[in-house]
A and B are shown apart, each in its own frame.
Chain A
Amino acid sequence: MKRGLATVGLALAVAALAGAVLIWFIGESPLEVYGVLLENTWGSSYGIGQVLFKATPLIFTGLAVAVAFKVGLFNIGAEGQLALGSFVTAVCGALLPRAFPGPLAVLVCVAAGMAAGAALAGLAGALKVRYGAHEVINTIMLNFIVSALILWAGNAHFFVKYTTHTRTIIEGATLRHLGFPGSPANTSLLFALAFAGAVAYFFARTRRGFEWRAVGLSRRAAENGGVNVAAAVIGAMALSGALAGAVGANYVLGYKRYYEGGIGGGVGFMGIAVALLGRNHPAGIVAAALLLGTLSHGGLAISSLVPKELVEILQAVIILTVAGASAYRGGFGRRRAAAATTPAPAAAPAAREDADG
Chain B
Amino acid sequence: MAELWSTLLSLAFLSQVLRITMPYALAAMGGVVSERSGVVNIALEGILLMGAFGAAYGADASGGSIAIALRDGVAAGVATAALYGLAVVTFQADQIVSGVAINMLAYGVTPYLLKALYNSSSNSPTIEGFGGHLFDNPVFWLALLVMAAVHVVVNHTRWGLRVRAVGEHPEAAHTLGVSVNGVRWQAVLASGALAGLGGAWLALSGSGFVAEMSAGRGYIALAAVIMGSWRPLWACAACLLFGFAEALEVNLQLSNLGIPNEITQTFPYVLTMITLAGFIGRSRPPAKLGQPYSAR
Q: Give me the interface of A with B, judged by CB distance under 8 Å.
A: 22, 25-26, 74, 76, 127, 130-134, 136-138, 140-142, 144-145, 148-149, 151-152, 155-156, 269, 272, 276, 307, 309-313, 315-317, 319-320, 323-328, 334-335, 338-339, 342-349, 351-352, 355
Contact = CB atoms under 8 A, between A and B. Distances in A.
Contact of B292 (A145, A272, A307, A335): A335
Contact of A342 (B94, B98, B285): B94
Interface in B112-138: 112, 115-116, 121
A24 to B, nearest CB: 11
Contact of A309 (B100, B112, B281): B112
B291 A339 contact: yes
Given A155-B260, A272-B100, A355-B281, 8 more contacts: A76-B100, A137-B272, A138-B273, A141-B216, A149-B263, A315-B104, A320-B93, A347-B35
Contact of B105 (A132, A156, A316, A343): A316
Contacts of B107: 312
Nearest to A276: B97
Contacts of B222: 137, 345
A346 B285 contact: yes
B285 A137 contact: no
B290 interface: yes
B98 A344 contact: no
Interface residues of B, number: 57
12 contacts: A22-B112, A131-B278, A133-B280, A309-B115, A324-B98, A345-B40, A345-B96, A345-B222, A345-B226, A346-B226, A347-B40, A347-B285
B91 interface: yes
Contacts of B83: 320
Given A307-B115, A307-B116, A156 B260 contact: yes
Contacts of A335: 92-94, 292
A133 B91 contact: no
B136 to A, nearest CB: 33
B111 A307 contact: yes
Interface of B: 35, 40, 42, 83, 86-87, 91-98, 100-102, 104-105, 107-109, 111-112, 115-116, 121, 215-216, 219-220, 222-223, 225-226, 260, 262-263, 265-266, 269-270, 272-273, 276-278, 280-281, 283, 285-287, 289-292
A149 B96 contact: no
Contacts of A144: 215-216, 265-266, 269
For A137, A325, A339, A347, which residue has the most chain B Cβ atoms within 10 angstroms? A347
B97 A145 contact: no
Contacts of B290: 338-339, 342-344, 347-349
Nearest to A18: B105
A152 to B, nearest CB: 4
A135 to B, nearest CB: 10
Please give me the 10 A-B residue pairs with the lowest Cβ-Cβ distance, nearest first: A344-B290, A312-B108, A347-B285, A152-B262, A316-B105, A324-B91, A323-B93, A319-B101, A313-B108, A347-B289
A346 B224 CA distance: 11
A328 B276 CA distance: 32
Contacts of B263: 148-149, 152
